[in-house]
Structure formats: structure tokens, C-alpha cells
Amino acid sequence: MLRLSRVLLILDKVKLLDLAIKLKSPNLVVVAYHNVGSHDSYVQTFEEPITPALIEKQILFFLRSGYIVTSLGEALSTLAENPQQKIAVITFDDGYKGVYEYAYPILRKYRIKATLYLTAGFVRHRVAPWWEQLYYIISKAEKEGKLHKLTRLISQIRGSSWRLRGTQAIYLKSWIEDVVRAMDVHELRGLVNTLSETLGIEVPEDLYSTIMLDLNEIKEMVEYGVEVGGHGLWHVNLSILNNNRLTEEVKESLDFVRTLYKGIYTFAYPFGIYNDSVIEVVKSSGFKAAVTLDPHLNYLSTNTYMLGRIPPYKFNLKDIASFKYLLIKC
């Protein structure tokens, strides 16, 4: 990876990466961000934060390359009127507090908009995301020497296939990702409660307020021009739900968005997972477009309910040359 990074820096210096991106000529580039902040923050979260400096460099790249940088709803309206316009859309999933503290000042500095995808149930009830609750419990269990007890407990609940493969951070995060994708909300609540009670590790009541946006922060950003999109009712894997639960997740999400924002309503599939049934419910519910986590650029021919989003970095290469390389490879 170090060798690749050096090669990319050389290619970027002689403008070859910029030329390659220009030749691809995408109409719409959507970038998927989650948490934003300092890596040495005193509040450790499951979702590793991206630094404000990297976000700013990526935004500046788009602006200097002739892109309009804006929200998804505004991008769709602009492309309907001017199909040749190059547009970059900045999106933030889940509603981490770092978006307000670190990314919002950057948006204001360059007078640009973005789309914030919020999960209705988390915001309404001030409940921290399932993965953050599990990450808190597991991290605390590791510090207190309770991981073996945790492993046995998990095996009893879900069988041996759910056993932790190791105690390193990468294994713990991988296990959490598997869990939250496989359960509906009642199962996730039950798992958190069982682990908490059995291990004697209580999730702090203020975990939500510590790491997630509050309503006042959301409303301030909306007033500035940030668009709010749907991200489900409880951020569960929509593809595993029956039709009634699927409809509830999507419609409750839209109802929540309408209380905060008026405009073109768009949706982000939780975990980026979707199928034909999910698309149909999202479309029929009233959302005008939806974004995935499929890493591809978008053209006028792209299905607006299957819009691709690129990550801000890959392979832990966090420089602007590597970001340009991602755009080329997509």
C-alpha cells in the first residue's frame, strides 16, 4: 500500500489522475461519510471518524474541478434542467455529532450543501445506534477481562457460528457488523439487554447525547440548507423483513423526514443493502431517489433508486491522490 500511495502521489503531481477523472465524465459523484472528528477523540466510537482536513481537501478538489457541490435533492433538480452539469454530492449517514462539530463549519466556509441521512427511531427516542451500544459493551468487557464470558454467552444465544473469532479490534467490529445485519429491532434490543445484564455492563444513558446529533443541531443545519433524508426507522437490514415491517421502516422514516425538511425526499438504504422489494417500497412510499453503498459513479442512465456512493478512502490511504484513484477505479 505504501508503494501504491507513492505512485499515486507522482501521478497526481503531473495531473494524470485529474485527466483520467475528466475522461470518465460522470454526471453525479456521491460520497458517503459517516462519523467526523479527531482519531484521538476521548469518545471512541465503532464508526471510525474521518478527519475534517480530509473532507475539506476532497471538497476543494471537486470545487476546483468545476463540480457543483450540493445535496442530493438539489443535484437531481439541477441535472433535470442541465444534464451536462458535473455535480458532487456530500452525504453523512447516521447523524454523528461530529458532523455538526467538524463538517458543518466546512460546509458554511465554502457555502455548500449536503444531505444528512437520519434514522428516525434513534433521533426520536435518543437511542444510540445498535452497533455503538454493542461496541461500548464489548469494549468495556475487553477492558474488564470478560471477553471469554461474552463469547460463551453469544454462543448460547445464537449458536457457535456467532462465536467471536478473536479479541483484536478488527474481529470485534466484524462480529458487530454481522450481528446488526442479521437481526430485526426486537432481537437487537434483546441482545443488548442480555449482554448488559449478564456482563454487568450498563450502556450509559447519555451515550446518544455524547456521540449523536441532537434535534437543535439538526434543525440549525437544515435552516442553513442541509437536506435531511431517510435512513429507516431503526436502521435494520430491510432485505430480511416481511412486507409489513419493511413498509413500517420506510414510511415511518419518510414521516420523520417531513417533520424536519421540505423538498425532494431521498433515502439511504441501511448498510447499503437492498433488493427489488425494498426498492419498490421506497419508491411507492414517496422517496424520489435512494443511495446505496455500491462504489460506482453515476450517469444520466443510472437508476435513481440505485445510486452509487464512493467511500472517502480505501485501504487506509487517506490522501487526496488516493481519493482521486478511487474515482478512477469506480
Calpha distance 256→232 (Å, rounded):
10
Picking from 9, 21, 34, the residue whose alpha carbon sits closest to that of residue 231 is 34
Residue 160 confidence (pLDDT) above 60: no
Q: pLDDT over 70 for what percent of the chain?
A: 90
Q: Which residue has the higher pLDDT, 151 or 313?
A: 313
Q: Which residue has the higher pLDDT, 329 or 67?
A: 67
Picking from 27, 15, 30, the residue whose alpha carbon sits closest to that of residue 326 is 30
What radius of gyration, in Å, describes the C-alpha atoms of the chain? 20
Identify the CATH number of the domain defined by range 2-126+213-329: 3.20.20.370
The arithmetic mean of pLDDT across residues 129-151, rounded, is 88
The arithmetic mean of pLDDT across residues 150-165, rounded, is 64
pLDDT digits (tens, 9 = 90+) for 307-316: 999 999 876 7
Calpha distance 325→8 (Å, rounded):
7
pLDDT digits (tens, 9 = 90+) for 46-90: 888 899 999 999 999 999 999 999 999 999 999 999 999 999 999
Q: pLDDT over 90 for what percent of the chain?
A: 70
Mean predicted lDDT score pLDDT of the chain? 90
Q: How far apart are the first and last CA of the chain?
A: 18
Task: Give the confidence band of 169 by pLDDT, cuts at 50, 70, 90.
Answer: low
Residue 275 pLDDT:
98
Task: Give the confidence band of 175 by pLDDT, cuts at 50, 70, 90.
Answer: confident
Can you list the pairs that 108-112 forms with residues at least 24 positions away whose Cβ atoms lie under 8 Å? 108/224, 110/59, 110/60, 110/63, 110/69, 112/59, 112/63, 112/69, 112/70
Q: Which of 197-216 are b and which e, b meaning 16 or more Cβ less than 10 Å from the residue's Cβ?
A: eebebebeeebbeebbbeee
Residue 8 pLDDT:
64
The arithmetic mean of pLDDT across residues 229-244, rounded, is 98
* Domain boundary assignment for the chain: 2-126+213-329, 130-202
Q: Which residue has the higher pLDDT, 222 or 139?
A: 222
